């Protein structure tokens, strides 16, 4: 039986959401020609961990998505579909959820997943995840009620809990309880999940090897985004860490690699004219933005944050970072246009207000005297470095004293938790942008949280209702507040180019390339 969302039924004070989950898919049936297929992937960066709960980094998600699964997964329309859960009930005040799990789902170590594993995993998520800490702090309890039932009670209404549990970025991944309990508030060091591929080898600085998990038991629904059936037709995935786009591109041309992610748009024309290669553009991919440290240092002054926003020409930043206009758009909304449940243009008039004269006035009002501003930069992702150069030039032109600090991506991730060591950095964020509850830049555990009482009040209002129009109105108010307080500088929406061999068919994507369901033909 397939897994389908049949609908929502109100019975007294209980809302029952039925997700009929059948036997699921067993080990993927493969033909003799597919049995030994290997994909070599020029991956854009090496992760610091494969514990996806503990890291919002794309480098982690690129690999960990194959190893782990959540209770729910987001489809291509940003709607959660069941993955390890089969159904759930929620009361009318959104303070009590009961989740019913699929039966006989194995971990990659052969152990069967039970409610105790889910409880331990979500507790771990609540300790290590930038999103999870904010959500988990509102839990009154999480308990196993039998081998396949989990109950969560909340201190306050949380209508977006299922969305939060479905988000992959810093996600509520499910792992064996023994690993989750041993890890606690630290990233796990054993990487075992229920996904279609298992970790075989990690040679640091070189590559990660994944192999088909023959015991995989997934769902039978139509693949969409990160949801639906996952067939591991490819036997083995070798992800080579490839910070050089030119090396990745050359490897694609010679057939050394079959996949390269996040290639710069400057390769677009060459790839387009090469019949041996295929282009896959993900629209949208992520928000690009300048994160300002509003907790420690110079940008605790809101006038200086506003000055930075007026100093930066978002159009020039996006053009420098992503090149061709086909690879970015200028948008001041905090949620993607493709997500009809969250997208609104209300309150975005403060976006892209390039005004150097106004920036200089605000510097004077703030009594800025040329204090150095530490700007974390990296060449691991060249689009960030290219954006950094425009940002620094624009800010220096109005009087900011910018001190660039070049790091590898791993070094930058290690520095960010130490708020006294930096003032700003360029980044992107995408997969979590499905509700204010899970928006990364709103999280108390993020590198430079937006510490706003009004924001928390708006989020509480948002979580107290399921009415779409009411939720959209609240998002409009949140966006107005964002541009009033300017915790970060929103620059625009970027699109990502993944390039594959033309004989690789069935590549999927949400915001990252998805190789399950893909085949070499």
Written as one string, the DSSP assignment of 300-347 is: GSHHHHHHHHHH--HHHHHHHHH-SGGGEE----SS-TT-TTT---TT
Neighbouring CB atoms inside 10 A of 11's CB total 9
Neighbouring CB atoms inside 10 A of 484's CB total 13
CA 29 to chain centre: 30
State residue 318's pLDDT score.
97
Rounded distance between C-alpha atoms, residue 471 and residue 345, angstroms: 14
Q: Are 77 and 446 in contact, with CB atoms under 8 Å apart?
A: no
Q: Which residues pair with 501 in a beta bridge?
A: 277
Tokens encoding 115? 């409610």
Residues 6+ apart with CB under 8 A from 228: 73, 75, 81, 219, 221, 222
Per-residue CA distances from 57 to 305, 408, 425, 440 (Å): 25, 13, 14, 11
* Residue among 383, 416, 407 nearest 491 (CA): 383
State residue 367's pLDDT score.
97
Question: Which segments of the chain have a pLDDT < 50?
Answer: 1-13, 15-16, 18-23, 26-27, 31-32
- Strands of 182-248 (E only): list them: 197-203, 207-212, 236-241
- Domains of the chain, CATH where assigned: 4-26+47-197+217-229 (3.90.76.10), 284-496 (3.10.105.10)
> SS3 of 232, please?
coil
Rounded distance between C-alpha atoms, residue 34 and residue 158, angstroms: 45
């Amino acid at each position: 039986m397939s897994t389908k969302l049949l609908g929502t039924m109100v019975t007294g004070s209980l809302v029952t959401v039925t997700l009929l989950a059948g036997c699921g898919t067993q080990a993927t049936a493969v033909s003799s020609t597919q049995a030994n297929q290997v994909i070599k992937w020029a991956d854009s960066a090496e992760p610091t961990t494969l514990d996806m709960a503990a890291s919002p980094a794309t480098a982690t998600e690129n690999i960990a998505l194959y190893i782990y699964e959540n209770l729910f997964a987001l489809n291509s329309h940003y709607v959660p579909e069941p993955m390890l859960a089969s159904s759930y009930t929620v009361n009318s005040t959104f303070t009590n959820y009961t989740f019913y799990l699929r039966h006989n789902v194995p971990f990659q170590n052969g152990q069967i997943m039970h409610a105790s594993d889910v409880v331990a995993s979500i507790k771990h998520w609540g300790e290590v995840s930038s999103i999870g800490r904010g959500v988990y702090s509102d839990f009154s309890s999480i308990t196993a009620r039998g081998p396949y039932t989990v109950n969560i009670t909340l201190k306050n209404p949380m209508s977006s809990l299922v969305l939060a549990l479905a988000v992959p970025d810093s996600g509520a991944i499910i792992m064996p309880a023994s690993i989750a309990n041993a890890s606690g508030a630290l990233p796990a060091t054993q990487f075992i999940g229920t996904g279609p591929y298992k970790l075989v080898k990690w040679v640091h600085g070189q590559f990660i090897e994944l192999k088909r998990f023959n015991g995989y038991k997934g769902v039978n629904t139509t693949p969409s985004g990160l949801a639906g059936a996952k067939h591991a037709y490819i036997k083995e995935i070798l992800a080579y860490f490839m910070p050089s786009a030119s090396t990745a591109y050359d490897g694609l041309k010679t057939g050394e690699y079959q996949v390269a992610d996040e290639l710069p748009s400057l390769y677009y024309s060459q790839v387009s004219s090469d019949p041996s290669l295929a282009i896959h553009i993900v629209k949208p991919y992520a928000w690009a933005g300048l994160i300002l440290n509003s907790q420690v240092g110079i940008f605790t002054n809101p006038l200086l944050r506003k000055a930075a926003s007026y100093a930066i020409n978002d159009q020039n930043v996006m053009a420098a970072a992503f090149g061709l206009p086909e690879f970015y758009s200028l948008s001041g909304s905090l949620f993607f246009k493709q997500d009809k449940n969250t997208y609104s243009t209300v309150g975005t008039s403060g976006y892209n207000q390039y005004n150097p004269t106004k920036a200089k006035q605000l510097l004077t009002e703030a009594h800025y005297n040329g204090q150095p501003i530490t700007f974390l930069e990296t060449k691991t992702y060249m689009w960030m470095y290219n954006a950094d150069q425009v940002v620094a030039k624009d800010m220096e032109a109005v009087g900011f004293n910018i001190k660039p600090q070049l790091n590898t991506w791993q070094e930058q991730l290690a520095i960010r938790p130490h708020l006294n060591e930096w003032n700003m950095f360029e980044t992107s964020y995408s997969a979590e942008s499905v509700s204010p509850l899970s928006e990364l830049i709103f999280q108390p555990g993020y590198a430079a949280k937006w510490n706003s009482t009004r924001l928390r009040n708006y989020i509480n209002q948002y979580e107290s209702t399921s009415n779409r129009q009411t939720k959209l109105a609240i998002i409009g108010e949140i966006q107005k507040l964002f541009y009033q307080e300017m915790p970060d500088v929103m620059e625009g929406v970027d699109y990502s180019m993944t390039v594959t061999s033309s004989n690789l068919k069935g590549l999927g994507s949400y915001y990252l390339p998805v190789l399950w369901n893909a085949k070499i033909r």
